[in-house]
Structure 1
């Protein structure tokens, strides 16, 4: 493992992912920009480098086993290891998504990226993370995935995009299971909520900037040894499951 901290951010070519990469780069970290679109990935790397981030591109389609394996091999060969994985890549899926009308194919597509993609990439990167002195995994979730908030009277969680909401609840459950399995290894695994952020994923209707949305990922990526694991957090602290 090199002395410089190494991070991989999936879906880092734009929006919150780009700002997470920029924020980690501002700490002096070397950051892998994970994205499947070569042009957008190259453009993001160029912008990050121009701003002083030590960035490199990582071709990565989180929905493809071979792509995840190749990304892990590239990181191992190019930088020698990995300290932090931020699973940021996500999709909302085709709308509308009310439970009675959603196409099951839409649910499958969303879960494939938002949940199975996280499992796929995490498992590919775990051998590298086990070699780190301070390994961290951050899964970018959403408060809409909180069953507690969804079922609390008087709390308006907005529209009901069934596939997306269910995928974030599913992701939170996966986060807890990873934290349990990896307990005692030094790998801290947490979910983070960026808040209602103005990105293309929200149709730019959010009230927070991508930079603000990235803040929770930076916090969880830099947790000290002995920090929380298996938790769900936003800028205000713990989010109920």
Structure 2
């Protein structure tokens, strides 16, 4: 196996369980050195050990996306340990406010959702962008949701839906700005996962994660500024 410093490096936020954990599993299997991030370091350590008992491919990290100091420290640590970043997977997110309505919602959870789902991803990208520019194959994948599709939006879950729509807008903006640098920026809806409130059964975590990994694995010159599930475009 190549030395760790020779492996492509992927940073995954919100990765101690569910789709994020499975994304880490799949990326490690593809030969990435994976930084498995969680706001709870003990959970990150436990999850990393589950995937890679010897610590050869998966490294736990304390990542609080709503804490700019923590995110800045993360960038410094990654620079010292790995020297670059090849892929950022912004998976950290708040839970959907399932029963809320925009007309009556307390705005506090809306502000929290924006801080995590939009600004959290934005903080991580800004902090790690200098390291991403060192990669020969740089990728940013923002884990979004069909709930953030303005074309399909019909009310309900305002905090989650509006924050994910904003994340989609950030994806488009960054894709346009970074295209000339060869950095592909895409949004992915992994779909509703069994056990996470999905209706009609939902998908397995492996199926959901595969949608995200598809976007990480795109070749140079591949699509950018897209919103997809399973590699197929969704309406904005």
Task: Give me the whole-angstrom Cα distance separating, in 2, the residues matched to 1:107 and 1:213.
Answer: 25
Query: Structure 1 residues 13, 72: closer, same or farther in 2, change over 3 A?
Result: same
Report what 1:229 is aligned to.
224
Pairs within 5 Å for 1:40-189: 40-50=43-53, 54-92=57-95, 96-150=99-153, 160-189=156-185
Superposed CA offset, 1:192-227 (max 9, x none): 01011135xx34666111111101111000100100
CA RMSD in angstroms, aligned pairs only: 1.9
Task: Give me the whole-angstrom Cα distance separating, in 2, the residues matched to 1:236 and 1:33.
Answer: 24
Structure 1: tracts of 5 or more residues without a match: 152-158
Task: Give me the whole-angstrom Cα distance separating, in 1, the residues matched to 2:226 and 2:97.
Answer: 29
SS at match of 2:114: helix
> What's the TM-score once normalised by structure 1's chain length?
0.91
Q: How many angstroms does 1:50 deviate by?
A: 3.2
1:218 corresponds to which of 204, 213, 234: 213
Structure 2: tracts of 5 or more residues without a match: none
Task: Give me the whole-angstrom Cα distance separating, in 2, the residues matched to 1:51 and 1:57.
Answer: 12
Q: Identify which range, 13-22 or 74-83, moves more after superposition.
A: 74-83
- Whether the aligned pair in 2 keeps the contact of 1:2 and 1:81 (CA below 8 Å) is no
- Whether the aligned pair in 2 keeps the contact of 1:12 and 1:34 (CA below 8 Å) is yes
Superposed CA offset, 1:94-152 (max 9, x none): 5531112211001000110000000001100000000000000000001111111236x
